[in-house]
Amino acid sequence: MGEGISDYTRFCVDLRRQMWMVGVEEELRRLIWQIAITGKYISAKIHESNRKLAGFRNLYGEEQLALDRSSDEILKNQLQYSGFVREYASEEQDAVVLLGKGREKYFVTADPLDGSSLVDTNLAIGTIIGIHKESVFSRGRDTMVAALYITYGPLITMVYAAAGLGAHEFVLNREGEYVLSQENIRIKDRGSIYSPGGLRKDLTEPHLKYLEYLENEGYKLRYSGGFVPDINQILIKQGGVFTYPALQKSPKGKLRLLFELQPMAFIIEHAGGIATDGREDILSLKVEDLEQRAPVYIGSRFEVEKAREFLTAGT
């Protein structure tokens, strides 16, 4: 090992040590760490897929589906042998999967590879995880104990939040360790960027007026089409708003409550932001089925509350 690398790692705080320092309980620490490590295997699968796609764009549709399924299998198998997970619910599964023997402590939800359609363009994508203490068919505020997401981009980063213990970012270094990058991330009450999903022609009038307000206020448009990188941008830039609203033809929006919205709302709230469907907090919505969707406004307090004003005006 070179001297520079040795000096670097000597002063780094790795994921397991940081979770112990902030007070995450042991079983949850071990589960979060194992999921983070699983992200390395998924990343390797993504790189393998990109090599196959080079020069063969017509194969992309099939390769994307295989990549989604492979990521789900990698994650499910790792969780099954962890000894901590009773049930697993995934965007790639038709029903909740029993992984344990019925005595395990945690229930895990996953979007194994959010934004996989962006792989061939080499944009950042990610994995989204929710960790619950009881059945996922409830309100997130009643069941969630932790959430995390992994971003596969120029760097592989992981952000986790555990109940009452803040949101923290880690970077995967050259030695294969997740090391602390930012502890107790806090987003500002008001930001300067907005990430709006949905085609403009399909927007409702109140939402369109809200976007026009942001544009007139000079907000900068930042939208990649991937939920993980867009939320990560708001978190790391410490402010702004992401929205995928109710559309005229899709009043429930696009994003799934259980797999995407709950975990990100949990993380953003632990960083000082808020997340709503335009009226109610995301974490106050009860999950009725795995396919349940909801509109979302998530990020800095000012922008999200301003959206609520536009959406509830005159109702």
209-263 pLDDT tens trace:
999 999 999 999 999 999 999 999 999 999 999 999 999 999 999 999 999 999 9
Q: What are the structure tokens assigned to 53, written together? A: 């796609």
Dihedral in degrees, nearest 10, Cα atoms 42, 297, 253, 288: 80
Residue 11: what pLDDT? 61
Residue 36 has pLDDT above 60, yes or no: yes
Of 62 and 232, more confident: 232
Q: What are the structure tokens assigned to 301, written together? A: 């307090």
pTM more than 0.95: no
For the chain, the structural domain boundaries read 3-182, 193-312
Q: Which CATH class is domain 3-182?
A: alpha beta
Residue 121: what pLDDT? 82
Mean pLDDT, rounded, for 142-157: 97
Q: Render 14-72 in DSSP notation, one character per residue.
A: BHHHHHHHHT--HHHHHHHHHHHHHHHHHHHHHHHHHHHHTT-GGGHHHHHHHHHHHHH
Look up residue 169 and give its amino acid.
E
**Which of 78-82, 87-91, 269-273 is predicted with the least confidence, judged by mean pLDDT?**
78-82
Q: pLDDT tens-digit profile of 285-315?
A: 999 999 999 999 999 999 999 999 999 985 6
Residue 201: what pLDDT? 93
Q: Which of these, 129, 44, 126, 113, lies nearest to 79 by C-alpha position? A: 129
The span from the CA of 25 to the CA of 254, in Å, is: 35
Count how many residues are written for the chain. 315
Of 117 and 109, more confident: 109
Q: pLDDT tens-digit profile of 194-214?
A: 999 999 999 999 999 999 999
Residue 8: what pLDDT? 45
Residue 238: what pLDDT? 96
Longest dimension (CA), the chain: 66
Let me know: does 144 contact 266? Beta carbons within 8 Å: yes
The span from the CA of 33 to the CA of 80, in Å, is: 15
The span from the CA of 290 to the CA of 292, in Å, is: 6
Residue 117: what pLDDT? 83
Cite the DSSP H helix spans in the chain: 3-10, 15-22, 26-53, 60-80, 140-143, 205-216, 227-236, 262-270, 301-312
Q: pLDDT tens-digit profile of 221-235?
A: 999 999 999 999 999
Residue 6 has pLDDT above 50, yes or no: no
CA distances to 171, 214, 293 from 7, rounded to whole Å, are 17, 46, 48
Q: Which CATH class is domain 193-312?
A: alpha beta
Residue 207: what pLDDT? 97
Of 2 and 85, more confident: 85
The span from the CA of 204 to the CA of 41, in Å, is: 41
Residue whose structure tokens are 């549709």: 61
